[in-house]
Structure 1
């Protein structure tokens, strides 16, 4: 009777979850943690629904109660604000905005690493406050987040860009379209790309307020 060569059964390899990612390193949809879904939902609702509702009362409630922002009395945040919430850190509890400050339409702000805006600060339309960047000389393209601080009575002109780690001093002015990469001294007036000091405000104290609440904005 002829003998039969039996082969040992092939060893079954169990692939760890960490190795089951796609070529891009993303986790399959079925494995996305609930908190990531929640974070993405909050970001979507904030930027595509809440920020465009023509009711500051509702937006104020959302920014304070849902995102956890500290917002002072009389501050106004107009419609169209886009908030970049990096990763799962969507709470924004490192965001502090003083009293009587105005953030105009269609601004972009990053909340990672911290954002502190003082009292009676005027932030014009389409300003970008960017607390994060990437290391272009790192093979991993690592992220770098540093807080932005804007002190009392500063004025940020339309479409200016403030980059990570910058402090805008008390009463300073950033002219429209400027890109600020370094700290700005109190009362300094800066402009250009990159921003350089052009002049200085001739004031030692301020008495104006910026409390405004336009209808349907």
Structure 2
């Protein structure tokens, strides 16, 4: 009789221990899933900020397709990255378009978590924290802002030189005019093509 009681007690103990271990396992799995979900959310926020959406930095924590990209601003951002020392392999708008064409790769894995990708290298550069003359900044974002400032200064100087051209926000320029100003920013000796700058808005592409 005593043996039966002991066996019963042992069985109850095993069940209790098993239940505790199983509950802890479920808690661990839940925590791991939550951490994984948060990792994905942060990755999407970094990606959406770096790939410059039309509606600005809304800190979007989910997948966003290429149609929401501010293509002209991203064109300039990629240009700055491609000229930087941190650039491992040049990235084009077509590369980004292909990267955002689907949320998942052929094996069902999230593109946003794929670190072996040149678009990911650009995102890492854009979001890397560095100390600048204004304090703590994101490396890429800081360099891109400085480049836009330089473009604006070139336009202002161009107007001051007596050229018949309105002092417009450089971000409103056509691609053709924007590229002309970028050539001057990259090579101070370059002479801006007046014929391109004088083109009506509907003619400049």
Does the pair score TM above 0.5?
A: no
Q: TM-score band, normalised by the shorter chain?
A: under 0.3
Q: Which has the higher helix share?
A: 2
Q: Which has the higher strand share?
A: 1
Larger Rg: 2
Q: TM-score, normalised by structure 1?
A: 0.25
